[in-house]
Amino acid sequence: MHPLQREWHRLRLQHQRWLNEHQRVAGTAGDINLQRLRLLAPVMAGLNAFMVLVLGMRLLLVDLPEVAQSWQLQLLLAHLGMGILMTGCALAAQHWRHDSRRWVGRWLPTTANALALGFSIGLACIDQLVTPSITPFLLGCMVSALAFHQRPVTAALLFGVTAVVFFGAMGQAQTQSEALLSNRLNGLAGCALAWTLSVMLWRKFTLLNLQQAELEKANSELQIKQRELERLTRVDGLTGLLNRVTFVDLTRGELARARRQGTATTLLVLDLDHFKRVNDNWGHPAGDAVLRHVAALCMGTVRSTDLVGRLGGEEFIVLLPATQAEAGRKLAEKLRQRLEQSPVRVQNEVIHITASIGLSAAGAQDKNADFDSLYQSADQALYQAKHQGRNRVV
């Protein structure tokens, strides 16, 4: 590819990327522009009213030459008209404050900006009666570039039309050729500088907003990962049950509440029978499938207020708050039967599983019950269940 073609292709890609970026921030720019208009329009209307008051008093109280009197009268009328227009813009911005994402958010501030530029052209033309200066117009261009976030194409159209109108209006207001040429050149330069400033500010606004969006996205993803990490530190990675540390912490809290409220608590310790044979005969993936099956069956059998955890290996633990020993025994027996009656299918193989369950309970009047004592008692009961032939509740 020819270097010029390559450079042209690069510029086209850059232009397309900028257009995409501008589209992404256009809604935010509309919000900010409309908010700024709600603040700036009343201020501008107030300044116009102040100028009308000052100029009106001078016209009434001071004896002025005819030229000065005409100059001040025209200024008064210009400020009066601009004050009325800015009041209308303020009311419109307040009325459509919730519609900034629609066309209003884009074109109402642009309309106000065009009116302000037209007003600055009018002031510069009126000033030609007493001075060749075009300071109001140059200030208007700079303020217009700073007041609102304008897309480059919109700003180019706005300042291009402004330059054409200024060029023609100045020809009507200034008759001296040297001053006319100077004013026209200065006015065109002011429009070009204002457009350049507007583009620079727009690009800065675009980049900052895109960077902020990326930071917010990264922060959101980080929070999701942090929550997932916290979840993983609380649960067993294979079965999704509470891990040992989390289960013990929650159980101690439940036991403290049971002591305060005077309710009974039951603890079940469940151990799969001959689980080593599963790993030896069918492999560890089959053993993992059995453990996940047991975890799901336990969660589906107990109440939502009960706690189910995995102590490690093939040993599980269940806390039954507000449960008497006899009610806990019935639930344990139900759980044992469901395990016995629901074999696990792994790769066309049927694996039958049973479990031994040890049970201990703290009565409503047992003020000294803690996790260690309950667990020790349930573990001893589990040992007895194993010793008595397995697949039973003790």
Helix intervals (H) in the chain: 3-61, 66-95, 103-127, 135-147, 152-173, 177-234, 244-261, 275-282, 284-301, 325-340, 371-387
Q: Which of 21, 214, 221, 314 is catalytic?
A: 314
| CA 64 to chain CA mean position, Å | 62
Q: At what angle do helices 3-61 and 103-127 cross, to 10 degrees?
A: 60
Picking from 135, 152, 118, 149, the residue whose alpha carbon sits closest to that of residue 190 is 135
3 state SS of 351:
strand
Burial class (CB in 10 A: 0-12, 13-18, 19+), 34: buried
Torsion of CA 132, 135, 136, 142, to 10 degrees: 150
Active site residue 21: no
* Cα–Cα dist 10/3, whole Å: 10
3 state SS of 133:
coil
* Cα–Cα dist 76/86, whole Å: 15
R_g over Cα of the chain: 41
Whose structure tokens read 């457009």? 195
Distance (Å) of CA 211 to CA 164, 208, 277: 37, 5, 57
The gap between the terminal CA atoms of the chain, to the nearest Å, is 84
Active site residues: 314
